[in-house]
Amino acid sequence: MRDGVQQRDLPSVRQDVAKVAETEEAGPVRSGEPLLLLVRETIAHQVHGGERALWHGRRERISYSSCNEDSACESRALLPGPGQRLFCVTAGGGRVLDLVADGPDEIWAVDLNPSQNHLLELKAAGIQELSHAEYLGFLGVRPSPDRLAAYARLRPRLTEGAQRFFDGQPRMLKAGVLYQGCLERFLAHVIVPLVRLARPFWVRRLMAATTIEEQRRLFRGPTTRLWRALVGNLCRRRFFAWFSGEAGFWRYIPAEIPLHTRVVSNIFGHLETHLARDNHLVSLIFNGRYTNESALPAYLRPEPFARIRAALAHTRLRLITGTVGDALHQAESHSFDGFAISDISSYLDDVSYRDVFEQVVRTGRVGARLCSRGILYHRELPAGCARHIRREVELEREFARHDAAMVHAFLVGELQ
Ligand SMILES: C[S@@+](CC[C@H](N)C(=O)[O-])C[C@H]1O[C@@H](n2cnc3c(N)ncnc32)[C@H](O)[C@@H]1O
């Protein structure tokens, strides 16, 4: 136990946290095939209400079905490998699978939204059951004549909870689940048509540009009034609040940071030096789908796909529905080698935020790696935690410049 960072020892909490509400093993698999070493758990929320209160999800729905970030950053920061036990926020599941590719012994994938974990199960089962081409067809990257038939093949690998969820979502499965999250549907049905209306052909030219010079010219070319109105308003707090069913991600961004201007300038600034065609999130924003297969997130590309498939035979996935704070309270001290805490700051009140990092410090081994993201801004490490984490500021800056999500601030470091 590190100085000043203790396992929560309030009797009522310890008692309740010990109560894991559900534990489910993944469904039966046919003999001779690699096992999906997957356990599902739901932790009753016990510690305090802050995290749950800030989650606006009332019913089970997938908020993020793709992975918007470039988990190359997490992989570089965490240096995953055999013998390790990692902790990762599930979200779209891509980041977890990208970490699995390097064959750690165990990953805890945690999300307070149960459907994000259902989705991760589905993606993992698909990697095990389908060929790479079938997988891209099933998820929706490529056309596919019968996604429900593919689902029927991988369904036995899912836990009952995930089966129940997807059995009730035939339209989502038929459409290709990768683009059916709330964010992805918003991009496809609102942003894409508006941008096309505002600047016809612009997106096509942007995605076709093969040099930075060519791309820069597109940003400097003549615009329309509608385009200027869109660029001027789409990233305002009020607009985000209107469409987002999630906690406002700007909640803890200091008022002096002009959210709208910074989001737009981060994206356009990124595209001054990075080709749009190489960025899967840009493709999602402007096309509503991935259009360049060579720039897919890693778990969708053939080589990582094969490594993930091999690793899933021995990497144990522990999928936990609950808050990061509660999940970490379940863990033994000094038991994790790495933490990927992606972009949950806006869901955490101050007490929960402090609790999460205190638990990271308590449960991380000496030398454990940490990669945490926040949109535009990362809240300071809570007092008492900073001295346990040696920050790697150069890496943080490099990630902020090159990460595909374009708008994240990073906290990267090593526990000491
Ligand atoms: C903003 S999203 C991350 C999306 C990200 N852009 C991506 O592509 O992965 C944050 C995710 O963390 C989950 N989450 C938020 N707060 C959490 C908490 N306290 N504990 C566990 N999961 C949390 C949300 O349900 C959501 O899936």
* DSSP letter for each residue of 223-272: --HHHHHHHHHTTSHHHHHHH--SPPTTTTS-TTS-HHHHHHHHHHHHHH
Domain ranges of the chain: 11-181+297-415, 187-292
* pLDDT-above-70 percentage for the chain: 84
Mean per-residue pLDDT for 55-79? 84
Summarize pLDDT for 209-244 with one digit per residue, the tens. 999 999 999 888 778 888 888 877 777 777 766 665
Selecting from 3.40.50.150, 3.40.50.920, 3.40.190.10, 3.30.360.10, what CATH number does the domain 11-181+297-415 have? 3.40.50.150
What pLDDT band is residue 90 in, cutting at 50, 70 and 90? very high
In angstroms, what CA-CA distances link 136 with 93, 139, 302, 304? 15, 5, 10, 13
Confidence label for 116 from pLDDT (cuts 50, 70 and 90): very high
Please give the mean pLDDT across all residues of the chain.
Answer: 86
Which pTM does this prediction carry? Answer: 0.89
Each residue's pLDDT tens digit, 133-161 = 999 999 999 999 999 999 999 999 999 99
User: Does 165 sit in the ligand 1 pocket, CB within 6 Å?
Assistant: no
pLDDT given for residue 262 in this prediction = 82
Contacts 24+ apart (CB under 8 A), 290-293: 290/66, 290/141, 291/207, 292/207, 293/136, 293/141
Token duo for residue 229 = 């109105």
User: Is residue 89 in contact with ligand 1, taking CB distance under 6 Å?
Assistant: yes
Q: Would you say residue 372 has pLDDT above 60?
A: yes
Give the CA count within 13 Å in the CB-facing half-sphere of 85: 12
Which atom of ligand 1 is least distant from the CA of 342? Answer: 3
Q: Give nearest CA residue, ligand 1 atom 5.
A: 68
Name the residue with higher pLDDT: 66 or 29.
66
What does the pLDDT average to over 113-139? 97
CA distance 88 to 97: 10
Pocket-testing residue among 48, 70, 99, 113, ligand 1, by greatest number of atoms within 8 A of Cβ: 113
Predicted pLDDT of residue 243: 63
The one-letter amino acid at 172 = M
Least confident of 29-33, 191-195, 344-348: 29-33
Q: What is the dihedral of CA 190, 195, 198, 203, to 10 degrees?
A: -160
Tell me how far apart the alpha carbons of residues 26 and 33 are, in angstroms, rounded to a whole number. Answer: 14
The protein residue whose alpha carbon is closest to atom 20 in ligand 1 is 323
C-alpha distances out from residue 365 to 86, 389, 416, Å:
11, 11, 8
CA of 218 to the centre of ligand 1 (A): 34
Q: How far is residue 235's CA from residue 238's CA, in Å, rounded to a whole number?
A: 8
Q: In angstroms, rounded to a whole number, what is the distance separating the alpha carbons of residues 13 and 46?
A: 6
Ligand 1 pocket, residue 63 CB under 6 Å = yes
Rounded to the nearest angstrom, the distance between the alpha carbon of 113 and the centre of ligand 1 is: 8
* Closest to 339 (Cα-Cα) out of 109, 87, 79: 87
Q: How far away, in angstroms, is 165 Cα from ligand 1 center?
A: 19
Give the pairing of strands 38-43 and 20-25.
antiparallel
